Structure 1
């Protein structure tokens, strides 16, 4: 029998996700609109929003020290490109944002490689007119704060996504989306990750038509609550995964960031050698890591790319690899509802959190305090 006292903080923070997501869903349209205003008011400050400090403009109050106010006022209608800056779990939320922006706008997007500047000394250039979305749960990671300042100097507008609206990152951004998730004390990030995911979908909604709507965002809290109340199939899957030492976690499109985040949660909570893959990349060689003692966890929602993930079952079976299926398919033992939008990434991520906690408990590990890890990782 597993010890449910282990990982109590992580479990409590997971169960807080419906509240956090509901508060963000209430601000969903406002966030998107105010991000869009950064480019219609180029060079101008704007009045702080009235949502209790949840989002605000900072450069006007700071005298715009980076000099980005030199750009023409009122000319731009949107960014010419979007860059995402993050590390760790925040990087997985950033990947979801990249999908959303590319899908809705067709704009060039990129995930910033921080070491290009911090290790190799190459300063960012050519980013005037771009939007940089900087994600850091604490807002204190030195390289994220440092790089954000460099992109501001290069002419980018900056939106910070952080749980601390008074952090160093928030203070230098043009606009801050505060997650308002409350304290998160367990080392594995849970409620701040899904909050970041919803925040980037809100940001993307302001950049182009056809993105998630506020009504669709409002469906997520109840869906999350239903999943969190349903752990039976997850616990049965955890019994299998607690007996192996390596695992492939596979998804595509909206489920790819969730696959990466699930693999990360399993790594940090259990020490399992879990690795996340796009189903397309998985076919290009990594499928060879699976076999009788090396299962695959398939995350497949209701999107057009998810059929590719489901089709992996035949080659995996031919390798005698155990398969754990989670998603919207009727035969999936671990389920989430078919929403038909990128919000399914959040639901897949919650299933991954549940699985990581359940495996840790099977192994007798306290997921709240993984050996050798700290809550805030101060990379430079």
Structure 2
């Protein structure tokens, strides 16, 4: 897991340069020509969190309504929704889950355009789709996904900005210049400190809460999953808004809270959430570029455009999940009962 985490800056550079970037631009240009009226994302686990990020990007940057599919409606209940004219995007690091493949098959039969975003271009998911994107993360050693997750995020970012950018499917020039800084920023973020100290602080925690809004919400959900699958620590993920609608009542000094607070509207709205948590004397650690009143600590990340922040915010949290698992005497490379490819129907 440590090796996979460390490879992410190089993975960003690989996706941003040469053949991978050109392939994504070609797909983006095709989709721009198709002009879908709505988009449906489908994924499971970590890839579902990447899909949620893609949903935020699509609605905010492209102004196209987005839905997240429920695969069981099709695979268990036999539903055949009319998806004519839609773009249906399956996101899966392995591309091997039968239910995601079935969703794309049914969608294509109903007249939808289909796209697979996967780390396995020879997978059944990629074969079932009209178009496919190889996230080019390379072999991932650990069961817990790290570099494939961020490769999915960056691929979706390049896709959406390519659709928005113009006829050649490439992001606008100023966008490309900003994206080119991500590998170095990721390197700097991974070189930061704090995860090991937090792991010792939380090694005996019985539960944890993660929270964020907007682009940061997928990061909160992915962090909770990483903590659960590597440390077996019950972790509940909430959007900052949902946390205030009831779950805030369960927070207290014994329930650590990891709050992702970036720049932009999403990060700005989280300041009030952190204040409310502080009023309950919750043990709040923020993930962001600035200290926030009410927090007892911070995992530092560089300040970037809110759209790019999920590519950096998750890095110290992956390190925390790794360090916490080791501190609790667990093996984060081989979580009990889990396999790299999970096939669901």
How far off its partner does 1:30 sit? 5.1
CA distance in 1 between partners of 2:25 and 2:251 (Å): 42
CA distance in structure 1 between the aligned counterparts of 2:54 and 2:205, rounded to whole angstroms: 33
Q: 1:370 to 1:130 in 2, by over 3 A?
A: same
User: Which residue of 2 is the match for residue 365 of structure 1?
Assistant: 330
Q: Is this contact kept in 1: 2:203–2:324, CA < 8 A? A: yes
Residue aligned with 1:249, SS: strand
Confirm or deny: 8 A CA contact 2:189 2:302 kept in the other structure: no
| SS across alignment from 2:221 | helix
Q: 2:10 aligns with which of 19, 28, 47?
A: 19
The Cα offsets for residues 346-371 of structure 1, whole Å up to 9 and x where unpaired, read as 11111221110111111111100111
CA distance in 1, matches of 2:101, 2:52: 19
Q: Matches of residues 193-204 of structure 1 in structure 2 within 5 Å?
A: 193-204=149-160
Matched residues in 1 for 2:3 and 2:286: separation?
26
Distance 2:187 2:329 in 1: 26
Q: TM-score by structure 2 length?
A: 0.92
Shift of 1:35: 2.4
After superposition, the CA RMSD in angstroms is: 1.7
**Cross-structure match for 2:52:** 95
Q: Which runs of 5+ in 1 are unaligned?
A: 1-9, 41-75
Tell me whether 1:223 sits opposite 2:214 in the alignment: no
- 2:321 pairs with 1:356: yes
What is the CA–CA distance in structure 2 between the aligned matches of 1:286 and 1:353, rounded to whole Å?
25
Whole-Å separation in 2 of the counterparts to 1:345 and 1:311 = 20
Show the counterpart of 1:148: 104
Alignment of 1:1-380 (within 5 A): 10-26=1-17, 27-28=20-21, 31-38=24-31, 40=33, 76=34, 78-125=35-82, 127-209=83-165, 213-230=175-192, 232-330=193-291, 333-380=298-345
Q: Is the 8 A contact 2:212 2:259 kept in 1?
A: yes
- Compare the two structures and name the one with the higher helix fraction: 2
Secondary structure, counterpart of 1:171 in structure 2 = helix
Q: Find the aligned partners of 2:57 and 2:96 in 1 and give their Cα distance.
A: 26
Which residue matches 1:67? none
Q: Cα offset for 1:330?
A: 4.1
Deviations 1:194-226, CA, capped at 9 Å, x for gaps: 000011111111333597822222221111111
Query: What do residues 124-156 of structure 1 show as CA deviations (whole Å, max 9, x unaligned)?
Result: 21x222111111111111111111111111111
Asked if the contact 1:83–1:112 (Cα under 8 Å) also holds between the matched residues in 2, the reply is yes
**Separation in structure 2 between the aligned mates of residue 377 and residue 269 of structure 1, nearest angstrom:** 16
Larger radius of gyration: 1
**SS in structure 1 opposite 2:194?**
helix
Deviation larger for 210-219 or 220-229: 210-219
* Paired residues of 1:32 and 1:204 also in contact (CA < 8 A): no
Q: List gaps (5 residues or longer) in structure 2.
A: none
What SS does the aligned partner of 1:254 have? helix
Map Cα deviations across residues 15-51 of structure 1 (whole Å, 9 max, x no partner). Answer: 11111111111244652443232453xxxxxxxxxxx
CA deviations 1:211-250 (Å, max 9, x no partner) are 78222222211111111122x2111122222121111101
Determine if contact 1:104/1:209 at 8 Å carries over to the other structure. Answer: no
SS in 1 for 2:237: strand
Deviation at 1:181, TM superposition (A): 1.2
User: 2: CA distance between counterparts of 1:106 and 1:39?
Assistant: 13
Counting matched residue pairs gives 333
